[in-house]
Amino acid sequence: MGSEREDFNCSGPLHLNTVDWRNVDHRRSVAASLVQGVYILQRDRQENRQGTHALAPLWWQFFNFQLYSQLVDDADLSVFGAIYELIPQNCNHFIEVPLYVIAFRGTLTKGDAFSRDFELDIHFIRNGLHRTSRFEIAMQAVQNMVAAVGNSNIWLAGHSLGSAMAMLAGKNMAKRGIFLEAFLFNPPFFSAPIERIKDKKLKHGVRIASSLITAGFAVALKGKHQKNQPDNTFVALSAWVPYLFVNPSDHICSEYIGYFEHRKKMEEIGAGGIERLATQHSIGGLFMTAIGKESEEALHLIPSANLTVNLTRSSDFKEAHGIHQWWRNDLHLQSKLYNY
């Protein structure tokens, strides 16, 4: 038997016995539950839970989805993603309904999948996630689904490392003019933890200094390295507006709060041009370019987002980073739309 957190009847959103697809809370809760379904698929595999003993199916069947296919890593044969297909129901607002959801789990700390997951975490930190075979499998699955059914009713969803996978897939499709609805839970933002500074004036000052350094560095390198400039690509991505769900107590994703809010503040003080340049670059990427090495685009840099912050108190980091928080019905949430 699995833990209570794996059992839908113990920890799932049982209050959602009827889903209103126009309700943002319902959409968030269903997307998070489908991501949890991927976690439990792999846990079922690890624990050899089959048939009536499997715990994963209820995480999607409760919402009238069926498992269309599993995405399996070619290195360790772990299940890292799933494609769900909605079983048609009577619906007056069909355009709001996701016919297919492609979901990706994050790092599992238990079982034989950990070493491979940790390897992918390192690739993310080095901006090399796109070169991994796991992402190639994921990207091919997304492309195949879009080619087969179009893009108007396909969702992407992911948590932690899985949200990085979904974000990268979404960015790649957006560069081709295909904008997929995306629900990204606790997406990792690899940078100095400025958001953890308690003094607001000091934090704002550090962010301004960082923006000036980054923008200045970018301008200095622009003349030397005309190729591969991110400007046009970054602007082209601005029409894609993924949903980001972050917790300020989770240092893995909390920098997104300052990343978007600082851009707004820089506009207010008349320094929007500097920030628009700075927000396209990372210091690490610019440094690699400066020393003559090929620089990869930092995955966490995105122009637009619908950012939702969970202001509900978390007891510890595990709770603040966990997927379970996102389907609770008693959350104190704050959402803002940021357009580039």
User: What pLDDT does 219 receive?
Assistant: 57
Q: Which DSSP symbol is given to 297?
A: P
| β-strands 154-159, 181-185 pairing | parallel
Of the CA atoms within 13 Å of residue 147, those in its CB half-sphere come to 6
| C-beta of residue 68 within 8 angstroms of C-beta of residue 44 | no
Across 97-125, average pLDDT: 92
Return d(Cα 238, Cα 201) in angstroms, integer: 29
Paired residues of 336 in beta bridges:
307
Is pLDDT above 80 for 285? Answer: no
pLDDT for the residue numbered 60: 98
pLDDT score of 264 more than 60:
yes
Residue 64 belongs to domain spanning: 8-193+231-267+297-338
Residues 6+ apart with CB under 8 A from 109: none
Query: How many domains does the chain fold into?
Result: 1
Q: Answer positive or negative: Cα dihedral of 79, 83, 86, 87.
A: negative
Residue 215, in any domain of the structure? no
Compute the average pLDDT of residues 220-236: 58
Q: What pLDDT score was predicted for residue 305? A: 95
Structure confidence at residue 238 (pLDDT) = 87
pLDDT value for 216 = 54
What pTM did the predictor assign? Answer: 0.85
Cα–Cα distances in angstroms (integers) from residue 288 to residues 156, 209, 292, 298, 314, in the given order: 31, 20, 6, 12, 37
Is 173 contained in some domain?
yes
Phi, psi of 334 (to 5 degrees): -130, 125
Q: Evaluate if residue 34 carries a pLDDT over 90.
A: yes
Domain annotation covers residue 272: no
Tell me the pLDDT tens digit for each residue of 69-102: 999 999 999 999 999 999 987 655 555 789 999 9
Q: What is the pLDDT of residue 289?
A: 45
Task: Let me know if residue 142 belongs to a domain.
Answer: yes
pLDDT reported for residue 127: 83
Across 141-150, average pLDDT: 95
Tell me if 220 is assigned to some domain.
Answer: no
Within-domain flag for 86: yes
Residue 165's pLDDT band (cuts 50, 70, 90): very high
**What mean pLDDT value characterizes the chain?**
84
Give kind and range of the element (H or E) at residue 236.
Answer: helix 231-237
- Identify whether 290 is part of a domain: no
- Look at residue 217 in the predicted model and tell me its pLDDT: 45
Question: Which pLDDT value is given to residue 230?
Answer: 47
DSSP label at residue 296: P
Q: Of 225, 219, 191, nearest to 276 (Cα)?
A: 219
pLDDT score recorded for residue 75 = 92
CATH number at residue 37: 3.40.50
Compute CA distances 331 → 102, 247, 287, whole Å. Answer: 25, 11, 41
Query: Residue 12: how many CA atoms within 13 Å on its side-chain side?
Result: 24
Report the percentage of the chain scoring pLDDT > 90. 62
Hey, what are 1's tokens?
């038997």
Q: How many residues does the chain have?
A: 340
N-term to C-term CA, the chain: 48
Residue 87 is given by DSSP the state: P
Q: Among 174-188, 190-204, 210-224, 226-240, whose mean pLDDT is lowest?
A: 210-224
The verdict on residue 223 lying in a domain is no
Bridge pairing between strands 333-338 and 154-159: unpaired
pLDDT at 199: 58
Q: Which residue has the tokens 């038997």?
A: 1
DSSP H helical segments within 12-85, as ranges? 24-47, 58-61
Quickly list DSSP for 155-191: EEEEETHHHHHHHHHHHHHHTTT---EEEEES----S
